[in-house]
Amino acid sequence: MDKTITFKGKYLSRTIVKNNIIKVYNQSTHKNDWYKDANMFCKYLSDKYKVPFNSVVGIVSALSPLKTWDKNQEIAEYFLDKRLIKKDNKFIQLPNQCIKAEAILYTDNEVEILDILSGAKTKSFYLNIRYPERITDVTIDRHAISIALGRISTDFEQQLSTKQYKWFVDVYKWTAKSLGIRPLLLQSITWETWRNIK
């Protein structure tokens, strides 16, 4: 992992990012494993709507961009219940994400689901929810970027290159190792804490 990266025209050091992540982590009052809860929610939807578990996780992931978790849950359940991508004549998510959700409904093959999701964030989100005990994937969403920067990130800063995405993943892993916890748990804890303090 590089010690610094050029990020939106400025140098960003892994030490500064690590310190920003730890600052949020230290403000946490609960050390909840959010991804385990999300995994259970997807199992509940899978059982209720008789849709394969992998497909449900893929649909939740496809419908996640720019949505709060509560809204993500709501639109995923609406889609699974009604099999519709519109509500009151409006798309329940960005049209492209709705098309992905529709395609995922017809496969439970993980390779195909990841191919349909295609984006680094939604693919990581799928893998994190599907396998909450793994340590290889960290979801770098707008909140993870804000935590890393120590402030609310701009729309421009939320658009990551492949190299930048991987660098943030590596810094989260490096920070988690220093704290003696799983990277996914660190991202989960800081994400929940950030929502309460921002």
Same domain, 19 and 44: no
* Count of structural domains, the chain: 2
Same domain, 144 and 155: yes
Same domain, 123 and 163: no
Same domain, 124 and 154: no
Compute the half-sphere exposure of residue 15: CA atoms within 13 Å on the CB side of its CA: 1
pLDDT at position 19 is 98
Same domain, 80 and 21: no
Is 169 a residue whose pLDDT tops 80? Answer: yes
- Domain end point (choices 130, 146, 173): 130
Percent of the chain with pLDDT over 90: 88
Same domain, 98 and 77: yes
This prediction has a pTM of 0.89
- Domain end point (choices 130, 153, 187): 130
- The more confidently predicted of residues 134 and 3 is 3
Same domain, 104 and 167: no
pLDDT at position 55 is 98
Dist CA 22 CA 92 (whole Å) = 35
Same domain, 139 and 94: no
- Domain end point (choices 86, 109, 130): 130
Same domain, 107 and 60: yes
Dist CA 47 CA 61 (whole Å) = 18
Same domain, 13 and 88: no
pLDDT in tens, 49-59: 999 999 999 99
Same domain, 21 and 89: no
Q: Which domain holds residue 113?
A: 34-130
* Cβ–Cβ under 8 Å, residues 25 and 189: yes
Is 27 a residue whose pLDDT tops 90? Answer: yes
The CA-based angle 168-170-171, given to 5 degrees, is 65
pLDDT in tens, 54-108: 999 999 999 999 899 999 999 999 999 999 999 999 999 999 999 999 999 999 9
At residue 152 the predicted structure's pLDDT band, cuts being 50, 70 and 90, is very high
Same domain, 122 and 168: no
